Amino acid sequence: MKHFLSTSMLLLCSLLGAKGEVNPHFYVYLCFGQSNMEGNATPETVDYQNIDPRFQMLACVDFSNPARTMGQWYTATPPLVRQGTGLGMADYFGRTMVANLPSDVKVGVVDVAIGGTAIEGFMEDKVDDYIASMNPSTEGWLINYFAAYDNHPYKRLVDMAKIAQQTGVIKGILLHQGESNNTQSDWPQKVKAIYDQLISDLHLNAADVPLFVGETVRTEQGGYCGGHNSVIANIPATIDNAYVISSAGCPQKGDGLHFTPAGYRTMGKRYAKKALELMGITADIGDDDIPTPVVLEGDLTIDKRFTSAAEIGSTTFAIVNEAEGKAFYVKGESANPQFLYYDTYDQSLTSSNLAVHFRLEPSAVSGAYMLRCIKMDGQPYSFWGANAYLNSGNFSCFVLGPNQDIANGSDWLLEYDATKKGFALKNVGAGGYLKDTGKAEYQTPTYFTLCTLKSATSGMTPIRTVKPQDDAVYTLDGRRVQSGHLRPGIYIVNGKKIIR
């Protein structure tokens, strides 16, 4: 009987059996986790530029574009994990490492990650049952991700690490995972089991191989799994040579789960800073990739006027009626955090209010948007455990959780009229137009200027935020799923957690 091996398996077998000369100045780092390690942000132009060839990635699967063969080293141009993934934690980790190490030192990353996986996906004694528990009709995407690693991502990580050991020295392990095990108290013990097995299988000395564990998107940044950071904080007490990498201040893309490109750059630099610190090297990475919110001061005035939703994009904007000299705003009083106000500029366009800005977010209604309330410090406004959106309610307009008062009350159609030089905002649920803080049931449109603001004295503009993906029902890892056949777990629907 003839037995046939795939090209990739033949290559793997030959590489595993090859004898290479180990370069003690080739520092290798193993990386694993779920989507934030996989890379969930679309790389920007800067992310393809000035990549030092001393920063290498080992292809852990075959790529067709860019063409890469599993088991071979390449200059670490994104994506590093799989074709179709994006910018992740390892990209700026490696760039920062080579920028701060002697010129004869190379850095390589071996990155095996699966968006959406629980930590059990990397546990050899649990992965088979974990995959078997998946519903093909709703989790086919996750099943396919596992198939890319022959259903054993841990084994793929070890096989690739052994190839890396033929030419380099494993210096550490990077982990970013936890959203799919959110707040589970036994998570640190499961991570320890994987770490201990890697140390054993690769014949490493744990004292020489630190584990770096990154925090999830923080709650104050709008993170849905920010509570898991209290679990991650227990990692150093569970694993002697483990360190937590802070995500403080790192912006998220609007889905509450994934970082923006700037967030990934900063997280990667923070991983590197800690790794270098353990080598006795102090790296001044700064946090200049994190947009510093511009705090508007004093009286505000109109800056840029928009003429389409596409032009607005992810920019925060105010809703101003220039004909009346009024604008909408939120005071944010503790007794009435949901109240929306509409008043003259001297009352509305002042930095003493909690919020005067909104941001467009996708709606489940075709052609419509939800208007997320954004505070003066650039952070999204939330209260009562829900995100605050402009809503038309039973009697008035408020800022409430999505459709919290009436069905489709948070869904708005934006109709720009060039002759009026403004937008009419029509509420899907109430069936009429926004005019003031009354219910949006007016049949005659009122035209508003949607615009950025600046301090009357400084000319500074508000910060920009990122438009999230249009996911009606998605996992804690941000993957859209079919709503008809959800297996037990926690999901996000219209910005709110649900349990099935």
Please give the Cα distance from 198 to 418 (Å, whole number): 63
Catalytic site includes residue 258: yes
pLDDT for 113: 98
Q: How many CB atoms within 10 Å of residue 41?
A: 23
Residue 469: strand, helix, or coil:
coil
Of 159, 255, 411, 471, which one is the catalytic site residue?
Answer: 255
Distances (CA, A) of 421 to 7, 102, 307, 412: 62, 59, 8, 19
Please give the Cα distance from 417 to 438 (Å, whole number): 23
Of 258, 392, 411, 455, which one is the catalytic site residue?
Answer: 258
CB 176 within 8 A of CB 33: yes
CB 487 within 8 A of CB 394: no
Which CATH number among 3.40.50.300, 3.40.1050.10, 3.30.565.10, 2.80.10.50 corresponds to the domain 300-455?
2.80.10.50
- DSSP designation for 181: G
Residue 348: strand, helix, or coil:
helix
> Edge-to-edge, what's the strand order for the sheet holding 341-344?
300-305, 449-455, 318-321, 326-329, 341-344
CB 116 within 8 A of CB 475: yes
Tokens of residue 207, six digits: 């004292």
379: which residues sit within 8 A by CB, 6+ positions away? 220, 221, 222, 293
CB 115 within 8 A of CB 143: no
Residue 414: strand, helix, or coil:
strand
pLDDT for 479: 56
Of 35, 180, 392, 410, which one is the catalytic site residue?
Answer: 35
Please give the Cα distance from 88 to 78 (Å, whole number): 9
Cβ burial of 289 (10 Å; 0-12, 13-18, 19+) is buried
pLDDT for 465: 36
**Domain limits, the chain:** 21-278, 300-455
- Looking at residue 161, its amino acid is A
Alpha helices in 279-403 (DSSP H): 309-312, 345-348
Among 500, 426, 499, 497, which Cα is nearest to 224's? 497
Whose structure tokens read 């923006």? Answer: 260
pLDDT for 285: 86
Q: Would you put residue 115 in left (φ > 0), alpha (ψ -120 to 50) or beta? A: beta
pLDDT for 485: 57
pLDDT for 291: 59
Architecture of domain 21-278: 3-Layer(aba) Sandwich (3.40)
- Write out the chain's pLDDT in tens, 500 residues: 333 344 345 454 444 444 568 999 999 999 999 999 999 999 988 899 999 999 999 999 999 988 999 999 999 999 999 988 999 999 999 999 999 999 999 999 999 999 999 999 999 999 999 999 999 998 999 999 999 999 999 999 999 999 999 999 999 999 999 999 999 999 999 999 999 999 999 999 999 999 999 999 998 888 999 999 999 999 999 999 999 999 998 988 888 899 999 999 999 999 999 999 999 999 888 776 665 555 677 789 999 999 999 888 878 899 999 999 999 999 988 888 999 999 999 999 998 999 999 999 888 899 999 999 999 888 888 888 788 999 998 889 999 988 888 999 999 999 999 999 999 999 999 999 999 999 999 999 999 999 999 887 644 443 333 333 444 566 655 556 666 556 656 666 655 555 55
pLDDT for 476: 55
Catalytic site includes residue 255: yes
pLDDT for 457: 61
> What is the CA angle 169-172-175, rounded to 5?
140
